[in-house]
Amino acid sequence: MDALDGNAIGGLLIDVFGAEMTAATGTCGACGDTGPVAGLVVYLKAPGTVVRCRICGNVLMVFVKAHGMTCVDLTGMARLDQPGAA
Amino acid sequence: MERTAVRGRLTWQAATVTGLTPETAAVVTITLDPPDWPGHQAGQHLDVRLTAEDGYVAERSYSIASAPGEPLAITVERLEDGEVSPYLTEELRAGDQLELRGPIGGYFVWKPADASPLTLLAGGSGIVPLRAILRDRLRTGSDVPARLLYSARTLPDVIYRDELGQHHDGVAVSYTLTRAQPPGWAGHTGRIDASLLADAAWPATAKPLAYVCGPTSFVETAAAGLVGLGYPPDRVKTERFGATGGH
């Protein structure tokens, strides 16, 4: 299965966070790598959408849609900083 | 129509297909007229949603092919095992309605006010958002110099070939053909590598801004190559396409 990147989930991230997040900065909770969400590794066809760290492979975000709701797991992410957000 | 969209939300809307232009044997540009489009930036996407009669829904993200201010367009490559692209490239007709939402994306975007020289690297249909950047550059009268290196399998696979062949001051376009070359081909051959990048991209000393878009393997090689040439990683914007359609 081809891995994509965070650009591919720009719409999903707006659904969840209510804002553009591909340019947001994420920090991996395992290795500490920091970079734009657009650069993270994204698997769309896992059970749900799985986002991994490009350096260490740690699972950073999981999104599962069921019954009209999106369940979000962000436990692998140490920080998520939206540029310009107060 | 009353504007009911909540700021910060994306709303699905039914756009009218106003035109279909074949680009290659497998690629079509679809021009769209959405009822409520807030405008976009070069490099952004939109999401397309198809709903089958049985209620099955398939969504795909496509790069916007047109510059801001032009009629909205996407360019779609037909993937043989695709769920969405065969419909878009073969079944869709002018006058049909297509459900979409957008614009989407804030990372892989180019702003005309940016004065940095542009290094644009495209693999296959990764040319689409880079074409939007070049059209935006032209429309806004930007004079930033741009170098585009476009990797395609064969010459007939090159999307926007006529458009890219037109001379524009400050834009240099080069090609590498990876699978087959026509007789007398004077361009590059083979997959992108360090020596090709050193030849086709701005040197790091020009303080360029790079946009790299294509299949994952292309993007990894090209982005690592630019960093090897001295580009700071945050000056290399990347976007990876899958083989699963759109992005």
CATH at B52 = 2.40.30.10
Looking at the predicted structure, is the pLDDT value of residue B74 above 90? yes
Give B12 to chain A, closest Cα distance, Å.
11
Looking at the predicted structure, is the pLDDT value of residue B23 above 60? yes
Looking at the predicted structure, is the pLDDT value of residue B7 above 60? no
Are A39 and B238 in contact (CB < 8 Å)? yes
Map residue A7 onto helix, strand or coil: helix
Q: Which residue in this structure is represented by tokens 């939402």?
A: B101
As a whole-number percent, the residues of chain A with pLDDT over 70 amount to: 95
Are A4 and B216 in contact (CB < 8 Å)? yes
Domain-located, residue B190: yes
Looking at the predicted structure, is the pLDDT value of residue B87 above 70? yes
pTM of the shown model: 0.94
B87 and B122 both lie in a single domain: no
Nearest to B159 by CA among B144, B173, B143: B173
- Domain total for chain B? 2
- Domain ranges for chain A, please list them: 4-81
Looking at the predicted structure, is the pLDDT value of residue A28 above 70? yes
Q: Which DSSP state fits B168?
A: -
pLDDT value at residue B188: 96
Looking at the predicted structure, is the pLDDT value of residue B80 above 70? yes
Q: Which residue in this structure is represented by tokens 């969504």?
A: B59
pLDDT in tens, A38-59: 999 999 987 899 999 999 999 9
Domain-located, residue B110: no
Give A12 to chain B, closest Cα distance, Å.
9
B244: confidence class by pLDDT, cuts 50, 70, 90: very low
Rounded-to-integer distance, Cα B32 and Cα B40, Å: 14
pLDDT value at residue B242: 67
Looking at the predicted structure, is the pLDDT value of residue B245 above 90? no
**Which of A1, A7, A9, A70 to mutate to test binding with chain B, by most B CBs within 10 Å of its CB?**
A7
Domain-located, residue B2: no
Q: What is the mean pLDDT of chain B?
A: 94
B141 and B210 both lie in a single domain: yes
Map residue B199 onto helix, strand or coil: helix
Task: Compute φ and ψ for A7, nearest 5 degrees.
Answer: -60, -30
Choice between A58 and A66, residue whose per-residue pLDDT is larger: A58
Mean pLDDT of B212-237: 97
Mean pLDDT of B85-98: 96
Question: Which structure tokens are listed for B34?
Answer: 């959405």
Range of the domain at B207: 118-241
pLDDT in tens, B126-184: 999 999 999 999 999 999 999 999 999 999 999 999 999 998 999 999 999 999 999 99
Domain boundary among B82, B104, B126: B104
A66: confidence class by pLDDT, cuts 50, 70, 90: confident
Looking at the predicted structure, is the pLDDT value of residue B6 above 70? no
Mean pLDDT of B76-96: 94
Question: Residue B225, exposed/middle/buried by CB under 10 A (0-12, 13-18, 19+)?
Answer: buried
Length of chain A in residues, anyone? 86
B90 and B135 both lie in a single domain: no
B5: confidence class by pLDDT, cuts 50, 70, 90: very low
Are B238 and A19 in contact (CB < 8 Å)? no
B8: confidence class by pLDDT, cuts 50, 70, 90: low
B81 and B20 both lie in a single domain: yes
* Cross-chain CB nearest to B8 (options A10, A18, A36): A18
B185 and B85 both lie in a single domain: no
What is the end-to-end Cα distance of chain B in Å, rounded? Answer: 31
pLDDT value at residue B138: 97
pLDDT value at residue A2: 76
